[in-house]
């Protein structure tokens, strides 16, 4: 009886797991038409689907000691709201703003307001495409940009983000 009581007391006195023991949360956000990956212009964007991108990100995050919140929206306002939710919740943001890259000052302002590190990702090399695609409002607030490396760019962005937020690279298997 005494040993059971002692065990309970020991458990109560044990240090409580702090939030810092949880893996850093990285929001992986995707803009308009990204839900059409694999269908829309596969000669430009490849045959991988958004589900493939999410799987790649989940695997990379696990290896890097990160947690991810992977989302996609065709709506600018919804993306802005998701970015705002990251403040105080996430450690960083990886974003493929897609069509909002060249148009959304609102998204740029929301990213600035989070005061979080941001990495911009594009599947294609936007600098080798039409002139209007070569300007990015998001690049102005990003610590880095990965473009032209296909969906592998997401994994590279997560690797860079892990370094920025100081994540341990001990995955679940270690």
**37-57, pLDDT tens digit by residue?**
999 988 888 899 999 999 999
Predicted confidence band at 5 (pLDDT cuts at 50, 70, 90)?
A: very low
Contact indicator for 112, 32 with CB cutoff of 8 Å: no
CA angle at 117 for the pair 113 and 44, rounded to the nearest 5°: 105
Predicted confidence band at 85 (pLDDT cuts at 50, 70, 90)?
A: very high
Residue 150 has pLDDT above 80, yes or no: yes
pLDDT at res. 88: 94
Contact indicator for 26, 69 with CB cutoff of 8 Å: yes
Euclidean distance between the first and the last CA atom of the chain, given in angstroms as a whole number: 36
Instruction: Please count the residues of the chain.
Output: 174
Tell me the C-alpha to C-alpha distance, in Å, between residue 125 and each of 9, 50, 122. 59, 18, 7
Residue 36 has pLDDT above 80, yes or no: yes
Dihedral (CA of 50, 78, 158, 59) sign: negative
pLDDT at res. 126: 84
Proportion of the chain in helix, strand, coil states, percent, rounded to 5 = 50, 15, 35
Region 151-173 average pLDDT: 85
Phi, psi dihedrals of residue 21, rounded to the nearest 5°? -75, -15
Region 67-93 average pLDDT: 98
Q: Which residues are catalytic?
A: 45, 122
Region 158-169 average pLDDT: 90
pLDDT at res. 164: 97
Region 13-38 average pLDDT: 81
Does the pTM surpass 0.75? The reply is: yes
């Amino acid at each position: 009886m005494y040993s059971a009581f002692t065990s309970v007391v020991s458990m109560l006195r044990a240090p409580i797991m702090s939030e810092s023991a949880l893996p850093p949360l990285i929001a992986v956000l995707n803009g308009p038409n990204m839900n059409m990956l694999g269908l829309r212009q596969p000669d430009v964007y490849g045959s991988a689907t958004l589900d493939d991108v999410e799987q790649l990100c989940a695997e990379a995050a696990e290896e890097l000691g990160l947690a991810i919140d992977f989302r996609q929206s065709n709506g600018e306002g919804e993306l802005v709201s998701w970015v705002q939710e990251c403040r105080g919740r996430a450690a960083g943001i990886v974003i493929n703003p897609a069509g909002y890259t060249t148009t959304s000052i609102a998204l740029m302002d929301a990213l600035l307001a989070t005061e979080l590190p941001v990495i911009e990702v594009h599947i294609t090399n936007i600098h080798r495409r039409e002139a209007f695609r070569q300007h990015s409002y998001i690049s102005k607030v990003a610590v880095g940009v990965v473009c032209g490396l296909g969906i592998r760019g997401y994994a590279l962005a997560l690797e860079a983000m892990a370094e920025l937020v100081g994540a341990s690279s001990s995955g679940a298997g270690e």
